[in-house]
Structure 1
Amino acid sequence: MQELGEHYRPAGEPPESNVHRVVGRTDGVTLLRVTDADGRRVNSGEIRRCSSATLDEEFEPARNPDAGFNPVSAVGDVLTWLYWSVRKFL
């Protein structure tokens, strides 16, 4: 049984592309697409409904695109915060 919050991608596709998150389990499984074909996060609102059996046949487990720490992004966030903090007082 699939759990809410698990991630799946269509079978045979690259690991980061077209990742879907399980957002519902009533009368089958409801999936929300959270990445595009290039693996970038998207807010598409694209929902797909299928049975548990179809999910097991057509999809395979995927890595959570939100997992992990990205040091480059963290440094960029800190620099942005510093810039706006200084600008606020000038």
Structure 2
Amino acid sequence: MVSCNQSTANLLAQGNRALAPGNPVPVKASFSVPMQPTQPVIIAAGNIVHFRRIAQDRFQVGIQFEEFEGGGCACVDQYVRSLLNERGKFT
């Protein structure tokens, strides 16, 4: 899930185009993970599979990633592992 504001959500969802099974919305996004003092920008391509408004100007966008540029995949993997370790769910 990627959290964002309404203007970013509109860009990602191409004007809130309806999401439907079998009708993926391709996206190429850049984002950072709050893990390191110098947060690297990760560029990834994939499909939007979930889109939800959680507050007036906050959205959650679920992206099924297919391809990362550079070391983006390793950075995201490291971040997810650290979150799971904090919650005691990963060994």
TM-score (norm 2): 0.28
Going by fraction, where is helix more abundant, 1 or 2?
1
Going by fraction, where is strand more abundant, 1 or 2?
2
Tell which structure's C-alpha radius of gyration is larger: 1
TM-score (norm 1): 0.28
